[in-house]
Structure 1
Amino acid sequence: MARGRRRSAHLGTPLPPAPCVRPSPWHRGPDMTSDNTRRAYAQDWQHYSRWCRLRGDDPLPPRPETIALYLADLARPQDTSAGLSLASIERRLSGLSWNAQQRGFDLDRRDPTLAAALTDIRHRLNRPATTKDPLGARDILAMISTLPRDLRGMRDRTILLMGYAGGLRRSEIVGLDARRDAPYGGQGWVTLSEPGALLVLRAGDGWREVEIGRGSSDRGCPVHALEQWLSYAKIDQGPIFVRVSRDAKRILGGRLNDRHVARLVKQTVHDAGIRGELPEKDRMALFSGHSLRAGFAHHAEAAEHLVRAQLGIGSPPPRADPEMRFQVNLTRAAGL
């Protein structure tokens, strides 16, 4: 394309001429941007403009709040397409900043709203990769629907719901005790209240708290499932998840091995027909007990620092004031 010729961006907002030919009145000094970069930036503006139009927004003036939502959507699209990498998102933001400047507007990348959005995206995209597929809330609901309505089914339903909503490791699930300071060799204990279940778990040399709020309905509520299990199994101390007789009518006692969680996930994934289009061997290789924890990490729609705290990633936050607990219901944020 000949230099100096105008090119139109989406929504009819023209790009300025090349800087050596009659620069626009708001042009700010020499622009050393290459032709290839200018073409990429024009495509960035077209994509952003189209996104704004679909939302009923105007791309001009460029508002940090709108751009923050746009960047978050690039990282985790609402449809089934894959999100962009961190480098691509930052490059896209550079394109929007350049386009805004050429149109006479300032877009400060240090704006608190934009900075917070980028921090969230960096943390989200830099989460450790998992070797097993994450399970979502719909998967969990399908899996628990395959369980029998007896003591064993009640126990296993609680394991799946608690493991997913708490982002728990296998050892943390089976290591839970019903009471504090009991000499049962567990990994932590549970305290039930009206808002939900507060788990206190071993974390290195200290302890960390995990809040599991009540779900949107009893069917998928991990707290309701736990209350039912404790009541019917008559467990008020010692390990929460224990062995059940073959006929599933009696509690035998004895803490479950964490391998039970892995076997339970694989069996219920199979029975629910999840990823049924794959060969049996390949399908079973995709899922394990870690799929519960990975599922929460992948699907929880909450601030990144809350998700990381729930997972126990990074330095543990200070103990929350009791009145400040359950301010955000992470169970519902994860889809239950």
Structure 2
Amino acid sequence: MIGDDAAERRALLAIGPIDLSPASIDLAPDLNQSDRARVDHFLARASADATLRAYRSDWRLFTTWCDTRGYASLPASPIVTAAFLSELARDGSTHSNGRPLSKSSIGRRLAAIVFAHRAAELEPPTVQAGAAALDRVMRGIRNAKRSDRPAKKRPADSDVLRDMVRHITGSALIDYRDRALLSIGMMGAFRRSELVAIDIADVAEDPRGLLVTIPFSKGDQEGKGQSVAVLDGRRMEPVRHYRAWLEVAGITEGPVFRRLTPHGRLTEKPVSPQTVALVVKARAAAAGYDPALFSGHSLRAGFLTEAGRHGANLFKMKEHSRHKSLEMLSEYVRDQEAFRNHAGEGFA
């Protein structure tokens, strides 16, 4: 990359793995070790783990793009940043899936660039002289019409989820783990990052199901903690699959959902969010569904879709899914409401 070496190092440290060392932040030299450690702890929690991982990936893409063209990435000028973002939005541009990037993803790329500049104590391109051009480019991207909107991933609703679990007929560790992961993931409407972070100490059994405490998540970046009630039932049976997995794996403490070695042996490390997506796709394929239609988010979307289908109270859905606003839940309910009490019901 081209730019100030010290600033560059600080930026990379700040958006790398969540381990903000004192060297990455200019703390007062007279702070003692205990005070430094406390400040570092809360600096590290300023953004959610998943957000920092995304920023790190976005920043690498930007610096690589700049390197290939001989542009400075730190600091980056507004016009260079605009050129990068407009290429992502241009029809025919290529990236991971060969399609123009979505507007929200382009916005996140810009947020990562701004984050890196602020971490390096440099003016981000959004406030530099000439920032008006970047602002106009972003408005143009937001206003552009897309004729190639990517297909939405299919939710793993109760019927799909039951099919997926029923087709897991083996008795290997991975089979027990996947049955528990799928049923709890769907019934808890968990985000992938929340699901893989569940620890034995976070789960309490109740006559009606499981109470899972989420200490920190995307919707709770202050770390207040949220409790999720995973309702048991005869169809999804999350409690039975949870107990069976812990018993056969011999897990009494630590992460609930563990990585397995290529030979099927249990490890002490939790599965990754990417593994959740792979499990969903693999088990959907085994049940006869097109795996390309599913993602790790399908479990969370499946619960909300099914709840909307059965007329669940919107506020209860928001409470369970831990969304910040009702508007974010509207898409899960809108399609179901379109056919409820339809004007043509009496003569169709």
TM-score by length of 1: 0.47
- Write 1 or 2 for the structure with the bigger share of helix: 2
